[in-house]
Structure 1
Amino acid sequence: MWRHIASNALTLFIVLLFLIGGAVVWGSGQYSATGPLTQAICLRVESGSNMRIVSNTLDKQNAVTSPTIFRIGADYSEKAGQLKAGSFLVEAGASMEQIIDQITTSGQSTCGTEVVYRVGVNSTTVLVRELDPATNHFVEIALFNPSEEDAPVAYVEVKEQADTRYRAAIAEGVTSWQVVDALNNLDLLGEDYGDLPTEGSLAPDSYEFDPGDSVASIIDRMSASQSRILANAWENRAEGLPLASPEEAMILASIVEKETAVADERRQVASVFVNRLNLGMRLQTDPTVIYGITEGEGVLGRGLRQSELRRETPWNTYVIPALPPTPIANPGRAAIEAALNPDDTDYIFFVADGTGGHAFATTLDEHNRNVARWREIEAERAAN
């Protein structure tokens, strides 16, 4: 009798082992399998949250097949205690394993609300936007000029959210003074920057930061990036350029940056200035005259006077015979590469053509016709 009972118990134990093993295999498959989510979502993990709360949130959004397996997987992988606060973009079909990796690894938000401080040549604006997971495109919530308008409620509210992301977007062609002034006036950053970086030494780009970061931390990143861009462009420069050093290349690049915002003609504009340097001609470019007046501190805000075109300053290329002594702005990568790899042309003149671009010429007669046409366009616009 006891032998029979023992035999049945052993059989039951073996069956249970098989059932448990099968359950483990099934659960493991569910954990790593493609998830049920049909459209990407933005998962917000609050500070102080836990895996139970997160798993229930995912279950309500139909992003996991089982919140229990989700929690067991987090425990088994020893990641349950590594949960990070933030907003995370969960792609359609993401497995529970992938989701846990997302919310426990870096803690850097990949979706949700973002505030962008856009430092432009003429003004600084603040953009509040939110990523739409379904389209993976940002939706504008608010846009304002902090020097002219009060902050909207949307901006105040998102600043109180722990998972809001922040970035400073620096436009091509801004001066170092404009960058430092804008960042020093940004209320979310910590210690101000007291020095003025060398003109041209800051790479225009988008830089993410955390509230309380120092202005210097962003300036240092901009400077390091610009150094890398210039070094690479200088190493891959065209042969025979009338540029003696990377510093001269940066000066030319800054002029190209200020002369055109049309990407397709940067190399043509650069070719004009290279041809003029090779011929010993003055560059005769208005942006250098403007820099001689403002020295990069703000915007001139009006047209140039004839007296200013004749006034001798270190940057007035209508007067000085070559490049000015310093860059006149911080050029972007494209302008730097254009200055060091210009188009092969015979152009030595250009003037605005009324479309936002320029008309180029190889002879003075052709250039004079282009200038006359531009003056007609200006007169027509003034009449309207």
Structure 2
Amino acid sequence: MDDRQDANDTSDEVRTRLNPKSPREALAPEQAPPLPRSRSARNPIVVVMNGLVTLLVLGVIAAGVLLYWGKGEFEKPGPLTAEKVVVIPADSGLARIADILETEGVIESPYDLFGHYVFIGGVRAYQQQGRLKAGEYAFPAGISMRGVMNMLVSGKAILHQITFPEGLTSRQIVDRLNANEFLTGAVAGVPDEGTLLPETYSFTRGAARSQILDQMKSAHARALEEIWAGRDKDLPFDGPHQLVTLASIVEKETGKADERPHVASVFLNRLERNMRLQSDPTIIYGLVGGAGTLGRPITRADIDKPTPYNTYHVNGLPPGPIANPGRAALEAVANPSNTKDLYFVADGSGGHIFAASLAEHNRNVAKWRKVERAKAAAGKADVDTKDPDAVDLPPDADDDDAAAPAPKADPNDLLDGAKPRDPALPVLPQPKPE
């Protein structure tokens, strides 16, 4: 060691001797010298990175808290105190749907700051934003936002119904569709007669009218395929279209379900014997087409006016259906009753009396006239628009006289005068062609 070091050491020893440590200081450990400060710790980049990491950790914690709170808000009972019907228009985006729901009081947020964003965030969190369906919904009281989302995704909207009675023409069906306020869209054109199945159809508000027509066409095609496959193989039809044609006539002739197979058998028996069908509904369709109703009683002039559909003048079936028959009428023609009857007339109580011979038929006509006279006397005469016409023949007339011409009458007069539409004009058999 050099002399300077020795001097320092000697100086320290002297100070120690001059200032001795107290017992406590002597026992206390000596303080370690401070660590040297790293230059990198003072680097600005490191400082920034440390701050970013801290912010990231805080952000994750905040996001977790927000998600936990949002999930609770999304699943807790909503504000509705009673069922509420709300319409969600077609092509509404998620924000628009949330606006509607909040305006209608179906959803709410506890703070105006968040508004409907809780609902939007919940839907996005469940990845359902592209699956919400338009429609008319009945939201129950207390439904949660998640419950609202599930209803919109499932499409459990309110179903409306539209009923088409059997026997309407296609034009009448289109008119009924156009009159329904819950349906939308225009109908491109009137479907062919006999291609729609009259039934009750369900739909949601805003459904297209063309969609209902498509359902009716599909239902008709399925029913006809099934019924045609199970038909009586002895039927004189070249194809399903002829079955539909006769079924439309049967549909218009009687409104009683249990009579349809019997009425079908009468017309089929007449076809087998080359007798004209002489059905009044075919007269009406030949005159007014798809309008369906004449708007007045049938006159002798109407019967005498030839049209392609007037089965008092054309042999066999008309060129096509005169209405849209229901399933029951199609089945009745496909599997008719086994009878030999060729005639039927109203029985005065809403049904018909059938006969295999003209003589028996004339007796039934006489009975019907007696009932009608009694009704007229009591002021209860009604109008039956589905009965085949008949004309009285001489009391001793037999089947050979069936082709005799009907009594002459003023073409502008009603057929009988006792009622607007006289179902007592005979269904006259026609002579077989030679």
Q: Do the two structures share a fold, i.e. TM-score over 0.5? A: yes
Corresponding position of 1:309: 303
Partner residue of 2:266 out of 249, 266, 272:
272
Q: Offset at 1:243?
A: 1.1
The equivalences for 1:106-121 within 5 A come to 106-109=154-157
Q: Is 1:375 aligned with 2:369?
A: yes
Partner residue of 1:208 out of 173, 182, 202:
202
Distance 2:234 2:276 in 1: 19
The equivalences for 1:242-321 within 5 A come to 242-321=236-315
Deviates more, 1:373-382 or 1:315-324: 373-382
Query: Cα deviations across residues 48-94 of structure 1 (Å, max 9, x unaligned)?
Result: 679xx99xxxxxxxxxxxxxxxxxxxxxxx899999973489xxxxx
Query: Cα deviations across residues 241-260 of structure 1 (Å, max 9, x unaligned)?
Result: 11111000000000110011
Tell me: CA distance 1:218–1:100, structure 2 relative to 1, closer, same or farther (3 Å): closer
2:139–2:148 Cα contact (<8 Å) kept: no
Task: State the percentage of identical aligned residues.
Answer: 45
Corresponding position of 1:86: 137
* Counterpart residue identity of residue 300, structure 1: L
TM-score between the two structures when normalised by the length of structure 2: 0.54
Q: Is 1:220 aligned with 2:247?
A: no
1:204–1:222 Cα contact (<8 Å) kept: yes
Query: Cα deviations across residues 109-132 of structure 1 (Å, max 9, x unaligned)?
Result: 4xxxxxxxxxxxxxxxxxxxxxxx
Tell me: CA distance 1:288–1:106, structure 2 relative to 1, closer, same or farther (3 Å): same
Distance 2:341 2:288 in 1: 30
Distance 2:305 2:299 in 1: 10
Q: Offset at 1:298?
A: 4.2
Q: Offset at 1:186?
A: 3.0
SS of 1:303's partner is: coil
The equivalences for 1:45-124 within 5 A come to 86-87=137-138, 106-109=154-157
* Counterpart residue identity of residue 218, structure 1: I
Q: Is 1:341 aligned with 2:335?
A: yes
Tell me: CA distance 1:100–1:320, structure 2 relative to 1, closer, same or farther (3 Å): same
Tell me: CA distance 1:246–1:44, structure 2 relative to 1, closer, same or farther (3 Å): same
Q: Offset at 1:310?
A: 1.7
Tell me: CA distance 1:301–1:311, structure 2 relative to 1, closer, same or farther (3 Å): same
SS of 1:295's partner is: helix
Q: Offset at 1:214?
A: 2.4
**Unpaired stretches in structure 1, ≥5 consecutive residues:** 1-41, 55-77, 90-98, 110-162
* Counterpart residue identity of residue 305, structure 1: T
Total equivalences in the alignment: 262
Q: Offset at 1:210?
A: 2.9
SS of 2:353's partner is: strand
Q: Offset at 1:44?
A: 5.8
Q: Is 1:235 aligned with 2:224?
A: no
Distance 1:87 1:339 in 2: 44
1:79–1:104 Cα contact (<8 Å) kept: no
Query: Cα deviations across residues 183-226 of structure 1 (Å, max 9, x unaligned)?
Result: 22333332211312110111101122233332211111111110
Corresponding position of 1:127: none
Distance 1:218 1:83 in 2: 23
Corresponding position of 1:167: 161
Tell me: CA distance 1:354–1:79, structure 2 relative to 1, closer, same or farther (3 Å): farther
* Counterpart residue identity of residue 156, structure 2: Q
CA RMSD, 1 decimal: 3.3
Q: Offset at 1:336?
A: 0.4
SS of 1:350's partner is: strand
Distance 2:151 2:297 in 1: 54
1:256–1:269 Cα contact (<8 Å) kept: yes
SS of 1:250's partner is: helix
2:284–2:292 Cα contact (<8 Å) kept: no
